[in-house]
Amino acid sequence: MSTPNEGAAGKKHINLKIWRQESPDHEGRFEEFKLPYVKGANVISCLMEIQKNPVTADGKKTTPVVWDSNCLEEVCGSCPMNINGRVRMACSSLVDKLEDPITLEPLSKFPLVRDLAVDRQRMFLALKQVKAWIRIDGTYNLGPGPKQPQGNHAQMYTLSCCMTCGCCLEACPQVQPDNNFIGAAAISQVRLFNMHPTGAFTADERLAGLMQDGGIQDCGKAQNCVEVCPKEIPLTTSISAMNREVTMKVVRDLFFEDVAGKGVGGPG
Ligand code: SF4
Ligand code: SF4
Ligand code: FES
């Protein structure tokens, strides 16, 4: 039995407890696996080992574990899971740094597909809601865009590292499977695209997206999101900045409504 925080380093075996569930309609259960220790192994390399020979620790043949991954270098965002009770990227989670046995469970805020694989569509719908892109295509030549100022490159680069993994949504108490809060990632992407000199032309549309149902007003400012982001994106700074922008938009909209209502500046 390991002492708390003792990783698998120096041991003969890596022990894993993995959540198995054929579909959302099936009962779930844990299965235990024992692998020979490999220095520098990460959670995905362990899952790949099990896939080659899916036999449990007590010698029973089982089905290969299902999970999502792609880049294996913490860029694509596809491999988040709950590892020892904390959301992390499986590809960058080294077994030497994890308490043994290592428990793997799927994200709980997203619909389960099977075993450790979930459907993260909710995040992509949130990006659509806030129009997290810059319009540069058209049927006519748009001409040269405004120049990108040097000053905020570093800040924009940090924000652009978001890989839509969903760790921030998993940790957020306001995100629940039965609500539609867009979460910190989409809010931070509005900040990124509104900082861009071309994106700034359509900043108001993104702010309007933030004000829709499930928008920034649902953030409870618990700050769990910023604690778990693998890319260390300053999410709470983004949320505060966008809260300010949204408030200014509300005031602007009220003022122009008022001015339009009174006919100020109109003919006659
Ligand atoms: S903000 Fe961080 S935690 Fe959230 S989706 Fe982007 S990279 Fe993942
Ligand atoms: S600040 Fe708290 S409530 Fe708001 S998105 Fe982050 S974790 Fe969720
Ligand atoms: S496999 Fe791409 S981030 Fe982990």
Question: Nearest Cα to 54, choosing from 8, 20, 7, 13?
Answer: 20
Q: Is residue 8 part of a domain?
A: no
pLDDT value at residue 155: 95
Q: Which residues contact 28 (CB under 8 A, 6 or more apart)?
A: 19, 20, 21
- Determine the residue of 130, 168, 221 to mutate for testing ligand 2's pocket, defined as the one with the most ligand atoms within 8 A of the Cβ atom: 221
Q: Which residues contact 132 (CB under 8 A, 6 or more apart)?
A: 186, 189, 190, 192, 193, 206
Residues 104 and 138 both lie in one domain: no
Using the predicted structure, report yes or no on whether residue 262 has a pLDDT greater than 60: yes
pLDDT value at residue 9: 61
Could you give the CA distance from residue 135 to residue 139 in angstroms, rounded to a whole number?
A: 12
pLDDT value at residue 264: 52
Q: 159: which 2 tokens?
A: 């924000």
CA 246 to chain centre: 22
**Extended strands (E) in the chain:** 13-20, 29-36, 80-83, 86-89, 102-105, 112-114, 117-118
Ligand 2 in reach of 223 Cβ (< 6 A): yes
Using the predicted structure, report yes or no on whether residue 87 has a pLDDT greater than 70: yes
Gap from CA of 165 to ligand 3 centroid (Å): 9
Question: Nearest Cα to 215, choosing from 193, 184, 238?
Answer: 184
pLDDT value at residue 266: 43
Give the model confidence (pLDDT) of 144-183 as tens digits. Answer: 888 888 889 999 999 999 999 999 999 999 999 999 999 9
Q: Is residue 201 part of a domain?
A: yes
Q: 118, 141, 171 — which closes off a domain?
A: 118
Beta bridge partners of 103: 17
Could you tell me how many residues make up the chain? 268
Using the predicted structure, report yes or no on whether residue 7 has a pLDDT greater than 80: no
At 87, give phi and psi (nearest 5°): -75, 130
- Determine the residue of 162, 191, 237 to mutate for testing ligand 1's pocket, defined as the one with the most ligand atoms within 8 A of the Cβ atom: 162
Gap from CA of 231 to ligand 1 centroid (Å): 7
Residues 71 and 167 both lie in one domain: no
Residues 132 and 246 both lie in one domain: yes
DSSP character string of 120-184:
-HHHHHHHHHTT-S-----SS---PPPPPPSTTHHHHHHHHT-----HHHHH-TT--TTS----H
Ligand 2 in reach of 242 Cβ (< 6 A): no
Q: 118, 134, 154 — which closes off a domain?
A: 118
Using the predicted structure, report yes or no on whether residue 219 has a pLDDT greater than 60: yes
Residues 173 and 85 both lie in one domain: no
Ligand 2 in reach of 80 Cβ (< 6 A): no
Q: For residue 229, give its domain range.
A: 121-261
Give the model confidence (pLDDT) of 32-61 as tens digits. Answer: 999 999 999 999 999 999 999 999 999 999
Give the model confidence (pLDDT) of 229-259 as tens digits. Answer: 999 999 999 999 999 999 999 999 998 777 7
Ligand 2 in reach of 163 Cβ (< 6 A): no
Please state the atom number of ligand 3 nearest to the C-alpha of residue 165. Answer: 3
Please state the atom number of ligand 1 nearest to the C-alpha of residue 235. Answer: 1
Residues 229 and 125 both lie in one domain: yes
Q: 118, 137, 161 — which closes off a domain?
A: 118
Ligand 2 in reach of 239 Cβ (< 6 A): yes
Other residues' Cβ atoms within 10 Å of the Cβ of residue 208: 17
Q: Is residue 159 part of a domain?
A: yes
Nearest ligand for residue 234 CA? 1
Does this model's pTM top 0.85? My answer is yes
Could you give the CA distance from residue 191 to residue 156 in angstroms, rounded to a whole number?
A: 9
Give the model confidence (pLDDT) of 180-197 as tens digits. Answer: 999 999 999 999 999 999
Question: Nearest Cα to 175, choosing from 230, 248, 250, 120?
Answer: 120
State how far the alpha carbon of 151 is from the alpha carbons of 60, 88, 157, 200, in Å.
Answer: 60, 32, 12, 16
Helix (H, G, I), strand (E, B) or coil at 225: helix
Q: 188: which 2 tokens?
A: 């931070």
Peptide bond into 101 cis (omega under 30): yes
Nearest ligand for residue 225 CA? 2
Residues 113 and 19 both lie in one domain: yes
Could you give the CA distance from residue 175 to residue 182 in angstroms, rounded to a whole number?
A: 8
Give the number of domains in the chain: 2
Could you give the CA distance from residue 193 to residue 189 in angstroms, rounded to a whole number?
A: 6
pLDDT value at residue 232: 98
Query: What CATH number is attached to the domain comprising 39?
Result: 3.10.20.30
- Provide the total of helices (H) and of strands (E) in the chain, helices listed first: 8, 7
Q: Is residue 199 part of a domain?
A: yes
Residues 142 and 249 both lie in one domain: yes
- Determine the residue of 71, 167, 181 to mutate for testing ligand 1's pocket, defined as the one with the most ligand atoms within 8 A of the Cβ atom: 167
